[in-house]
Structure 1
Amino acid sequence: MGIDKRSGPPELCIVVPCYNEEEVLPEAQSRLLNELSALVADGLVNNASHILFVDDGSKDQTWSLIENASRTEPQVRGLKLSRNRGHQTAVLAGLLEGQGDIFISIDADLQDDITAIRQMVISHIEDGTDVVYGVRAGRSSDTAFKRFTAEGYYRLLSALGVEIVFNHADYRLMSQRAISALGEYREVHLFLRGLVPLIGFKTATIEYDRSERFAGESKYPLRKMLSLAWEGVTSFSAKPLRIISIAGIVISMLAFLGALAAIWASLTGGTVEGWASLVVAVAILGGIQLLAIGLIGEYLGKIYNEVKARPRYFVDKIVGDESQTLDD
C-alpha cells in the first residue's frame, strides 16, 4: 500500500537482531544513525523514525551497549528477549513488537549495504510496494564453497516448490500491513525468507553488494547454516516424503524383478552360491529404510512442536523513547 502524501512521510523502524555483537555494534549504530538522519533530512521518513536493536540473549556486553545508546540517542531503542531464541525469531520479535509505518530488517554485521535502505524506502513511497527485497548482486565476497552451496540451496528450494527470492536473506522492507499479515503465521519453526513471499502483496527487489563482516565472528557457522537450510526444506515442502515414496516404489519394482530373475535362475539350474549380492541388497534396503524413518520422524517432530503452540519468545526488557513506549 502506498503512502498518502497528505499524511506526510512514514515512520521507519530499522530492526537489527543482535547476538554477541559487542565488537560491531558501535559502528553499526553510528552508520545506521547517519543513514537515518539523512533520510529524515530529505523528508523520506519522519522524525519518529528509529532503530530497534533486538538482543537475542547475548552473553557479552551487547545489551549494555544498547541500553547506553538508548539513553543518549533518541533514535535508538532496544528490546531484550528473555533468552536466546535464534536469529529468525529475533527478527520476527522486532517486527511484531516494534512501532512504525514501514520496517526494515538488517543484520548488525554491516555486510549488507546500508545505503540500499534509501532505495527501499523510495520504492515503497513511489511504487506502493509492501515488501522490498534486498537481493545480492553477486557473491564475490564468498568462498567458492559457500557460493556453490548457497546458490545450489536456492535452486533446490525452487525445485522442491518453495517460493523464494533468489540470493535474498533477511534484508528487506515491509509495510505495516505486510507485518500484520506475517503475524498471522503461527509457525514455531521459522524460515522468514520462505514465509514472506507467501503474503502476496506488491513486491520489488533492490540489488546491492555485500561486504565482508566488519568485526567479530559470524553467528551463522556451517552447523547453523545447515540447520536453517533443513528448516527451509522441511517447513515448506512435503516433496522429500514424496521422493521417498517414489524411491520405495522403484526399489520394490526392482526387487520384484530381481525375485523373478532368481526364480528363473533356480529353475534353470544357473544359481551360484554367494553372499556378496545378498549383503549389498540388505545394506541398500536397510539404509533407505532408516533414511525414510528418519525423514518421517523429522516431519512428525515438527508437527509435535507446532501443535503444542508454545510462545515463540518472551520480551524481557524494552528501552527507548518513553513517549513512544513499545507494548509489552
Structure 2
Amino acid sequence: ACGDVVAVMDCDLQHPPQTLIEMYRLWQEGYEVIEGVKADRGKEGFLHKECAGFFYDIMSKATKVNMKDASDFKMMDRKAVDSILSMPERNMFFRATSSWVGYKTTSVEFEVQEREAGVSKWSPWSLVKYAFTNIVAFTTFPLQFVTITGAICFICSLVLMVYSLVQYFTGSAVEGYTTLLMVLLLVGSAMMISLGIIGYYISKIYEEVKRRPRYIISKVIKNGSIQD
C-alpha cells in the first residue's frame, strides 16, 4: 500500500467496512494510528472466549502493551506504516508493533460481524502456539522468567538447608541425608541462576539482532517549518 493513509482489516468482513469512514475522519483530525477495538467478541463459544481472554492477558503482561480486545483492524498514517516497514525483523507481532512505534493514537469501537464465509480456524491449541510465538518474537520475558525461577529456588534451598541443619544437630536426620540434600540444593540453585545469567546475555543479543531503532523521529523542525 502506497497511500498517505493505510487501513488493515480481515478479509472475512468481520471488521465492518463502514467503520473505516469514522477512522478516516479521525485521521483527518491529526491522529496517526487509529486502533479498532472490539466492543464484544461476537458469537463465540464460552471456551473460545475464555482461551482468547487468557491469551490476551498473557500477551499484555509479557509485551507491556494493552492487548485486551485488540485486533488487526487499524488505520495508520504513512509515517507509522514506514516506521513499521523500516524494521528489519522478520518475525513481527503486528498488533503490538503498531503500538510500539508510538505516534498520536486513538481507538474506535466496532461490533464484530458475522463471517461472510467459512469458520474460524482458531482452536485453543492454536491460540497457545500463537501466544508463545508472538511472545518470543516481541519480548525476552521467557528468558527473564528463568532468572526469577532460579532466585526462587535458591531462597527455597536456603530454607531447606536451615531446616536440614536443625534436624542434623538435633539428631533427627538420617545419616548422610543432610550432606546429600545440601549439595543437591546448592548445585541445582547455582545451575538455575547460571542459566538465568546466560539467558540475560542471550536476551541482549536477541535485542541487538532485531536492530530496532532506539527512537523514531516523528517531526523535524527546520528553519521554523515542521517537516514530517
Q: TM-score, normalised by structure 1?
A: 0.52
Query: Does the Cα contact within 8 Å between 1:100 and 1:176 map onto a contact in 2?
Result: yes
Within a 5 Å distance, the mapping from 1:4-23 to structure 2 comes to: none
C-alpha distance in structure 2 between counterparts of 1:143 and 1:232, whole Å = 24
Q: Where do 1:74-85 residues align within 5 Å?
A: none
| Partner AA of 1:114 in structure 2 | P
Say whether 1:182 aligns with 2:84.
yes
Which residue number in structure 1 is paired with residue 25 of structure 2?
122
Aligned to 1:104: 7
Counting matched residue pairs gives 200
User: Partner of 2:76: helix, strand, or coil?
Assistant: strand
Q: How far is 1:216 from its partner?
A: 1.9
Distance in 2 between residues matched to 1:307 and 1:196, nearest whole Å = 20
Does residue 1:113 correspond to 2:16, yes or no?
Answer: yes
C-alpha distance in 1 between matches for 2:159 and 2:67: 44
State the distance in 2 between where 1:120 and 1:223 align. 34
Cα distance in 1, alignment partners of residues 116 and 202 from structure 2: 40
1:237 aligns to 2:115 (yes or no): no
Q: Give 5+ residue unaligned stretches, structure 2.
A: 212-228
Which of 85, 96, 113 pairs up with 1:211?
A: 113
Q: Deviations over 1:203-227 (max 9, x none)?
A: 1111111123222243444444323
Q: 2:62 aligns with which of 160, 169, 181?
A: 160
Is the Cα contact below 8 Å between 2:32 and 2:103 reproduced in 1? Answer: yes
Shift of residue 272 of structure 1? 5.0
Output the CA distance in 2 between the equivalents of 1:210 and 1:272: 65
Within 5 A, what are the aligned runs for 1:1-328? 98-125=1-28, 127-271=29-173, 307=209
Once the two structures are TM-superposed, the CA of residue 268 in structure 1 deviates from its matched residue by 1.7
User: Residues of 2 paired with 1:221 and 1:272: CA distance?
Assistant: 52
Unmatched segments (≥5 aa) in structure 1: 1-97, 310-328
- Indicate how the Cα distance of structure 1 residues 233 and 136 shifts in structure 2: closer, same or farther if over 3 A, else same: same
Aligned partner of 1:182: which letter? I
Alignment RMSD, CA only? 3.6
| TM-score, with structure 2 as normaliser | 0.72
Identity percentage of aligned residues = 27
Going from structure 1 to structure 2, the CA distance change for 1:202 and 1:210 (only over 3 Å counts) comes to same
Can you list the C-alpha shifts for 1:142-178, whole angstroms capped at 9, x where unaligned? Answer: 2222222222333333333522343121110011111
CA contact (8 A) 1:136 1:167 kept: yes
* Distance in 1 (alpha carbons) for counterparts of 2:16 and 2:118: 18
Aligned residue for 1:214, secondary structure, equals coil
